[in-house]
């Protein structure tokens, strides 16, 4: 019975994807192409993109929070949510309703304008990044030719939101937390960007669509030899830090700062911050999957024709989901395993270790590219 | 010899200084790395090809660039030699590699600026010459005046950069090319572009109304840095103006002449009148340098001619040497008695006769007294302005020279006539600076009477 | 009228409003937020002009860099108290007159100018790559020299800034 369900689901997903046809137009391209013909069709595609992104945001938010709680519980030998829905699956939904219906508190001396703007800045930055993530050839809202640059650029909106939110709360914990978060994000942005550049160097493009296409022959993690592997590790470490997750969660260290920059937030605005935190994790994992693990591309091993066929049968969306999900699990694993770093350890790690490492790594990558030794070996 | 050699020397010296500072620990850097590279680069200049074009024309070498580079390297060399003497600019016992490195960067910027073959290189060269100089002017961290000067300098530098960038953006956008040449057809908004570019050059040359930073920065900055600002940095401003006038503004010079004449008169008069009131010698030198920039502009009033160019370059060189001498004496006094007020020079002829004589000759040269070099330089400049028919400007310049004589002699009076009563501390001297000052003084005297320097420059151009 | 025109006017109005708010705000941090908004509109203009790369850089440098730097500076210096002064009517009117006259001058020059037809834009298949190649091209039309010089500039200015900001011996040292 169970096997039948799984097969049906796989077939349904597979029908959503045109196997081996990996150059579907993105939703934005469809809209642009339809613009001359019929404005309604164009509007339909744009609407579909927006609605899909919003739906994905909600679903992802709910499921990631649930996953975090379950996984945390496992690590701590607890059960986690069990009551609401099947095995507690509806717990986060219930919590969301609770949050929305709560009293909306604003501290008396808060700067109301900034206090109200900050969560929306954070969420809008995240939304703008999310539309760029290619989940499958069909579920790809927009493929900017500056995709990677755009994603790191709109990340700035989140930093702005965090800083302003912490300031506007007029609370010392919030202020300290936001400054720590801001400083941490800015510092780790350096090695994060340098590790992204390694892949940009290999593909010669900033467009995420092209980056995925370039991995038809094999994932960059293997094809890029050592530099890509180092870049992948640096990327995972730096994005953990950018997400302010343990072991880098000084910005909201509960024992020191209550809850960091969102101490004073409650109700809907708190939910937004919380949502943004989890979706940012999804974006980081999705980006890592796209850049290093081939995005929606199936795993191929050179010479094993049958194996490759079978792999092709698994739909791209599932591939993307598996890779991203695996990376998200790694982030959660890290969070519930490691203790928190001290601020000086945090800074030393970035400025004395990761940054020089990723600079050298970029040079090595350039050398690898120059000598043309990439593209051989490993699963291809 | 390859045309890029001087720049390469300076660049590698910069990198080595940085590395040495990072790894040498308490032993500190070898100043030889800095001034040796400068001296070597200066020595290389005569052997470079007269004309060269590198990197697809973004780096050009021509006689004018060579002369400017000589001025830059000369003043950088003297600044470095002054700076490595104790006490150091940051008063931390030993000279910091960062200081020398920043100075080298500013020098490199000035050298790139004169050799720039396109607008982007020109702009970035100018920024590289300016921004490290800004940092240098705030170098004495214990001295609040230094910080104040640095802040004023950085704010005004940012403002002038903004104006300049606006001008460059208009220029590049409207002409559609990065080339450093007159646009093929007259640009729209020519006037606005011209005003914006002129403002940028005016800031570097500290011409009024862009002079407001000069006095505070000169007074607050460590003295070797003040020397750098008053010599090479100003020469870089002149070089930038030349680049503009040979490039994008080539056709516009005749229309600009009244404006330039006005600026020149304004700079001379304002610098002189305010200099009369100063009590601090470094502040005084700031206003003096503002008025000197006014004299420099006279060379342009004849239109763009080789004679005018030679006159300006010659005057620039003479001014630089004069300033190196006068500031060298100020530096010595600062080391002896820790202050730079005019009163501290009272009776200097009794205390340090050599220094007093050098100061006398340097000041008289700046005032333009025959037979010193300053007089010859001013003579050529006035002749240029007269040849262009700007007699009222020449008249005003002559009046201003007389006023300047008054305030330069104020210092001479302190040194030579007011020798009774309690004299300030004597100090022990005996630094290398003394030899440089002596050499500069000899140069001032000789350059005024030996004609071949000016003739040689004119022949080169 | 091109389809992008309404967007241009929308963002232009937004930019004007935000710029005014930025200048007139009594609150330093809010002014920074408004400034970030103006800069965001700048990025939008670049997108309208098909210069996506510049738009990305604008966001990255101005919002991610400059605005955040401003906010940090304000937070570290107890900034909002600094802006508690009410400019006197004289100052206000003088500033108004000055900015209006600059605007008048610019409008006059812009209106009076006989604008040349837009320069023919060379079609770029991959503008980012072309830009990169040009920046590192040592030959004709290349920008290798300014590219290298600007890296020296950034290095030296960063080091000098660190030197100036670092506490010297004898001053209070931060935790290490």
Tell me the pLDDT tens digit for each residue of B408-439.
Answer: 998 888 888 877 777 777 666 656 778 888 88
Same domain as C134, residue C80: no
Residue A73 located in a structural domain: no
| B250-304 per-position pLDDT tens digit | 878 888 888 889 999 999 999 988 888 888 899 999 999 999 999 999 988 888 8
- Interface predicted TM-score (ipTM): 0.87
Q: In the prediction, which pLDDT does A356 show?
A: 93
- CA pair distance A242, A187, nearest whole angstrom: 9
Chain A residues in contact with C69 by the CB 8 A cut-off are none
Specify whether B325 is located in the same domain as B398: yes
Q: Check whether residue B193 and residue B44 sit in a common domain.
A: yes
Residue C98 within a domain: no
The CA-based angle A33-A38-A39, given to 5 degrees, is: 90
* Residue that terminates a domain, selected from B194, B220, B248: B248
Gap between the Cα atoms of B36 and B197, Å rounded: 36
Q: What is the DSSP letter of B17?
A: H
Cβ atoms within 10 Å of A83's Cβ, excluding its own: 9
pLDDT of residue B178: 83
Q: Are residues B231 and B90 in the same domain?
A: yes
Q: Which of B122, B128, B116, B96 is nearest to B22 (CA)?
A: B96
pLDDT at A376: 46
Integer Cα distance of A50 and A43 in angstroms = 10
Q: What is the C-alpha to C-alpha distance for residues A302 and A310, in angstroms, rounded to an integer?
A: 13
- Which of B14, B57, B58 faces C146 most closely, judged by CB atoms? B58
Across the range C12-25, mean pLDDT stands at: 90
Q: Is residue A136 part of a domain?
A: yes
The pairing of beta strand B59-61 with beta strand B52-54: antiparallel
Rounded distance between C-alpha atoms, residue B102 and residue B224, angstroms: 13
pLDDT band for position B132 (cuts 50, 70, 90)? very high
Residue B381 and residue B264: Cα distance in Å, rounded?
12
B267 and B284, same domain (yes or no): yes
- pLDDT band (50, 70, 90) for residue C17: very high
Do B284 and B243 sit in the same domain of this protein? no
Best CA proximity match to C112, nearest among B295, B71, B188, A356: B188
Residue A137 tokens, joined = 């050839």
- Domain span at residue A156? 107-370
**Alpha carbon of residue B165 to chain centroid:** 23
* Chain A from 91 to 110: CB within 8 A of any C CB: none
Asked if residue A366 belongs to a domain, the reply is yes
What are the b/e assignments for B166-187, b being 16+ CB within 10 Å?
A: bbbebbbebbebbbbebbeeeb
> Is residue A14, in this structure, part of any structural domain at all?
no
pLDDT tens digits for C130-150?
888 888 888 887 889 999 999
More reliable by pLDDT, C172 or C103: C103
Indicate whether A348 belongs to any domain: yes
Give the separation between CA B131 and CA C158, rounded to whole angstroms.
10
Contacts of C29 in chain A (CB under 8 A): 111, 114, 164, 167-168
Query: Burial of C77 by CB count in 10 Å (0-12 exposed, 13-18 middle, 19+ buried)?
Result: exposed
pLDDT-based confidence at B236, cuts 50/70/90?
A: very high
Residues C142 and C74 grouped into a single domain:
no
Identify whether A227 is part of a domain: yes
Residue range of the domain that includes C21: 1-84
Q: Are residues B162 and B307 in the same domain?
A: no
- Out of B189, B218, B248, a domain closes at B248
**Mean pLDDT calculated for residue range B33-52:** 90
Q: What is the mean pLDDT of residues C96-117?
A: 82
Distance, in Å, from the CA atom of A66 to the CA atom of A332, rounded to the nearest integer, reads: 12
Considering the domain architecture, whether residues B177 and B268 belong to the same structural domain is answered as no
Q: What is the pLDDT at residue C173?
A: 39
Using CB atoms within 10 A of its CB, is residue A130 exposed (0-12), middle (13-18) or buried (19+)? Answer: buried
Q: Cis omega (within 30 of 0) on the bond before A247?
A: yes
Gyration radius of chain C over CA positions: 22
Assess contact for B44 and B9: CB atoms under 8 A: yes
**Could you tell me if residue A345 is inside a domain?**
yes
B222, B248, B274 - which closes a domain: B248
By C-alpha distance, which of B232, B188, B206, B217 is closest to B323?
B232
The minimal CB distance from A160 to the residues C36, C52, C127 is found for C36
B289 and B391 co-located in one domain: yes
pLDDT value of residue A373:
67
Domains identified in chain A, total number: 1
Residue C17 and residue C80 in one domain: yes
- Which residue in C has a C-alpha nearest to residue A156's C-alpha? C64
Model pLDDT for residues B310-342, shown as the tens digit of each residue: 999 999 999 999 999 999 888 888 877 777 888
Residue C93 lies in a domain: no
Chain B residue numbers with beta carbons less than 8 Å from the beta carbon of C116 are 174, 185, 188
Nearest-10 Cα torsion for C80, C86, C87, C89: 160
Q: Are C77 and C132 within one domain?
A: no
Same domain, B406 and B290: yes
**Smallest Cα–Cα separation from B336: which of B273, B449, B430?**
B430
- 3-class DSSP state of A315: coil
DSSP of C44-105 = HHHHHTT-HHHHHHHIIIIIIIIIHHHHHHHHHTTGGGGG-PPPPHHHHHHHHHHHHHHHHH
Are B143 and B53 in a shared domain?
yes
Distance from CA of C141 to the nearest CA of B (A): 6
Checking if the pLDDT of B181 tops 90, the result is no
Q: What is the CATH number of the domain that holds C77?
A: 1.20.120.1200
- Specify the number of domains making up chain C: 2
User: Is there a single domain that holds both residue C11 and residue C78?
Assistant: yes
Q: Which residues of A touch C57 (CB under 8 A)?
A: 149, 153
Instruction: Count up the domains in chain B and report the number.
Output: 2
**Are both B225 and B353 inside the same structural domain?**
no
- State residue A379's pLDDT score: 37
Peptide bond into A135 cis (omega under 30): no
- B95 has a pLDDT exceeding 80: no
Residues B221 and B354 in one domain: no
Nearest CA in chain C to B105: C156
Q: What average pLDDT does this structure show over B65-89?
A: 84
Min Cα distance C57 → chain A (Å) is 7
Please indicate whether, in this complex, the C-beta atoms of A167 and C36 are within 8 angstroms of each other.
Answer: no
Which residue range(s) make up the domain with B289? 254-461
Which residues of chain A fall below pLDDT 70? Answer: 1, 10-23, 253-255, 373-380
């Amino acid at each position: 019975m169970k096997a039948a369900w799984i097969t049906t689901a796989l077939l349904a997903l597979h029908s959503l994807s045109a196997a081996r046809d990996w150059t579907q137009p993105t939703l934005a391209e469809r809209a642009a192409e339809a613009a001359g013909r019929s404005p309604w069709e164009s509007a339909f595609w744009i609407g579909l993109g927006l609605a899909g992104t919003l739906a994905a945001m909600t679903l992802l938010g709910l499921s990631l929070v649930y996953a975090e709680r379950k996984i945390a519980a496992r690590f701590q030998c607890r059960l986690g949510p069990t009551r609401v829905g099947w095995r507690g699956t509806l717990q986060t939904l219930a919590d969301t309703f609770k949050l929305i219906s709560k009293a909306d508190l604003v501290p008396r001396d808060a700067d109301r304008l900034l206090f109200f703007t900050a969560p929306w800045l954070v969420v809008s930055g995240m939304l703008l990044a999310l539309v760029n993530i290619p989940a499958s050839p069909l579920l790809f809202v927009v493929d900017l030719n500056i995709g990677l640059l755009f994603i790191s650029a709109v990340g700035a909106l989140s930093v702005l939101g965090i800083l302003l939110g912490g300031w506007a709360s007029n609370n010392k914990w919030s202020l300290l937390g936001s400054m720590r978060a801001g400083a941490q994000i800015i510092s780790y942005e350096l090695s994060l960007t340098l590790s992204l550049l390694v892949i940009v160097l290999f593909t010669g493009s900033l467009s995420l669509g092209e980056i995925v296409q370039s991995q038809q022959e094999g994932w960059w993690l293997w094809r890029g030899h050592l530099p890509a592997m180092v870049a992948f590790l640096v990327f995972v470490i730096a994005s953990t830090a950018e997400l302010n997750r343990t072991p880098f969660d000084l910005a909201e260290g509960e024992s020191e700062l209550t809850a960091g920059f969102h101490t004073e937030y409650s109700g809907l605005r708190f939910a937004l911050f919380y949502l943004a935190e989890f979706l940012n994790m999804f974006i980081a994992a999705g980006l890592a999957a796209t850049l290093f693990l081939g995005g929606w591309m199936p795993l191929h091993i050179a010479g094993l024709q049958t194996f490759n066929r079978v792999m092709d049968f698994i739909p791209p969306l599932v591939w993307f989901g598996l890779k991203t999900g695996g990376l998200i699990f790694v982030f959660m694993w890290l969070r519930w395993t490691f203790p928190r770093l001290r601020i000086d350890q945090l800074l030393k790690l970035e400025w004395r270790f990761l940054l020089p490492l990723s600079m050298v790594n970029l040079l090595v990558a350039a050398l690898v590219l120059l000598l043309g030794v990439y593209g051989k070996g490993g699963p291809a | 010899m390859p045309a890029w050699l001087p720049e390469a020397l300076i660049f590698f010296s910069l990198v080595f200084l940085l590395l040495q500072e990072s790894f040498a620990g308490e032993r500190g850097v070898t100043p030889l790395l800095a001034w040796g590279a400068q001296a070597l680069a200066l020595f290389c200049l005569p052997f470079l090809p007269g004309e060269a074009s590198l990197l697809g024309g973004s780096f050009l070498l021509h006689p004018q660039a060579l002369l400017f580079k000589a001025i830059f390297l000369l003043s950088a060399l003297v600044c470095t030699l002054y700076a490595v003497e104790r006490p150091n600019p940051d008063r931390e016992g030993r000279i910091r590699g960062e200081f020398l490195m920043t100075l080298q960067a500013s020098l490199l910027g000035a050298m790139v600026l004169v050799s720039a073959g396109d607008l982007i290189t020109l702009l970035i060269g100018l920024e590289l010459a300016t921004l490290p100089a800004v940092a240098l002017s705030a170098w004495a961290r214990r001295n609040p005046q230094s910080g104040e000067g640095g802040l004023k300098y950085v704010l005004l530098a940012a403002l002038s950069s903004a104006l300049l960038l606006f001008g460059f953006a208009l220029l590049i956008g409207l002409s559609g090319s990065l080339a450093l040449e007159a646009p093929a057809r007259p640009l729209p908004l020519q006037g606005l572009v011209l005003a914006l570019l002129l403002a940028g050059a005016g800031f570097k040359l500290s011409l009024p109304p862009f002079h407001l930073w000069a006095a505070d920065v000169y007074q607050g900055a460590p003295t070797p840095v003040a020397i750098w600002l008053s010599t090479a940095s100003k020469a870089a401003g002149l070089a930038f103006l030349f680049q503009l006038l040979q490039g994008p503004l080539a056709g516009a010079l005749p229309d600009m002449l009244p404006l330039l004449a006005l600026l020149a008169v304004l700079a001379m008069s304002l610098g002189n009148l305010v200099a009369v009131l100063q009590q601090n010698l470094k502040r005084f030198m700031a206003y003096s340098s503002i008025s000197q920039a006014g004299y420099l502009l006279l060379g342009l009033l004849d239109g763009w001619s080789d004679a005018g160019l030679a006159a300006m370059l010659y005057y620039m060189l003479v001014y630089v040497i004069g300033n190196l001498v006068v500031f060298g004496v100020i530096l010595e006094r600062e080391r002896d008695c820790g202050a730079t007020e005019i009163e501290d020079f009272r009776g200097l002829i009794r205390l340090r006769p050599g220094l007093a004589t050098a100061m006398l000759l340097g000041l008289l040269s700046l005032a333009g007294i025959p037979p010193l070099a300053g007089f010859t330089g001013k003579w050529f400049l006035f002749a240029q302005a007269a040849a262009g028919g700007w007699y009222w400007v020449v008249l005003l310049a002559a009046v201003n020279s007389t006023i300047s004589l008054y305030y330069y002699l104020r210092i001479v009076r302190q040194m030579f006539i007011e020798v009774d009563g309690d004299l300030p501390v004597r100090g022990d001297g005996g630094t290398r600076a003394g030899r440089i000052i002596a050499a500069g003084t000899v140069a001032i005297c000789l350059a005024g009477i030996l004609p071949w320097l000016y003739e040689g420059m004119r022949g080169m151009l | 009228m091109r389809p992008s025109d309404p967007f241009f006017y929308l963002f232009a109005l937004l930019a004007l409003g935000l710029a005014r708010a930025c200048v007139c705000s009594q609150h330093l941090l809010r002014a920074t937020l408004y400034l970030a908004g103006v800069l965001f509109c700048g990025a939008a203009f670049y997108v309208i002009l098909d210069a996506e790369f510049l738009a990305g850089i604008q966001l990255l440098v101005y919002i991610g860099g400059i605005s955040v730097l401003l906010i940090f500076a304000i937070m570290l210096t107890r900034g909002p108290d600094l802006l508690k002064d009410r400019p006197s009517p004289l100052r206000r009117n003088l500033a108004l007159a000055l900015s209006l006259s600059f605007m008048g001058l610019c409008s006059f020059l812009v209106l009076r100018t006989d604008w040349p037809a837009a320069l023919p834009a060379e079609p770029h298949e991959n503008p980012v790559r072309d830009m990169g190649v040009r920046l590192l091209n040592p030959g004709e039309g290349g920008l290798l020299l300014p590219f290298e010089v600007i890296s020296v500039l950034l290095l030296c200015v960063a080091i000098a800034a660190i030197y100036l900001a670092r506490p010297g011996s004898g001053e209070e040292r931060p935790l290490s």
